[in-house]
Amino acid sequence: MFEEIVLESKKAWEKNADFWDERMGDNSNRFHCRIVRSSVEELLEVNKIVRARKV
């Protein structure tokens, strides 16, 4: 059952992927960059990971 839902979701995404890629471009949009991405990076502690890799 779960695998079917995952496959269905992937098919739906693939059907819409070109539209979203075209609309968002390589850098996404302001809302995503300022609100979503920054919050996700904070939750994932991305800056700590990046700094650790540079050392």
Task: Name the band, by pLDDT with cuts 50, 70 and 90, for residue 54.
Answer: low
> What average pLDDT does range 5-23 have in this prediction?
91
Tell me, what's the pLDDT at 16? Answer: 92
User: Distance (Å, rounded) from C-alpha 13 to C-alpha 29?
Assistant: 18
Tell me, what's the pLDDT at 53? Answer: 65
Task: Name the band, by pLDDT with cuts 50, 70 and 90, for residue 55.
Answer: low
User: Distance (Å, rounded) from C-alpha 49 to C-alpha 44?
Assistant: 9
What's this model's pTM, rounded to 2 decimal places?
0.42
Task: Name the band, by pLDDT with cuts 50, 70 and 90, for residue 49.
Answer: low
User: Distance (Å, rounded) from C-alpha 38 to C-alpha 34?
Assistant: 6
Phi-psi region of 29 (alpha: psi -120 to 50; beta: other; left: phi over 0): beta
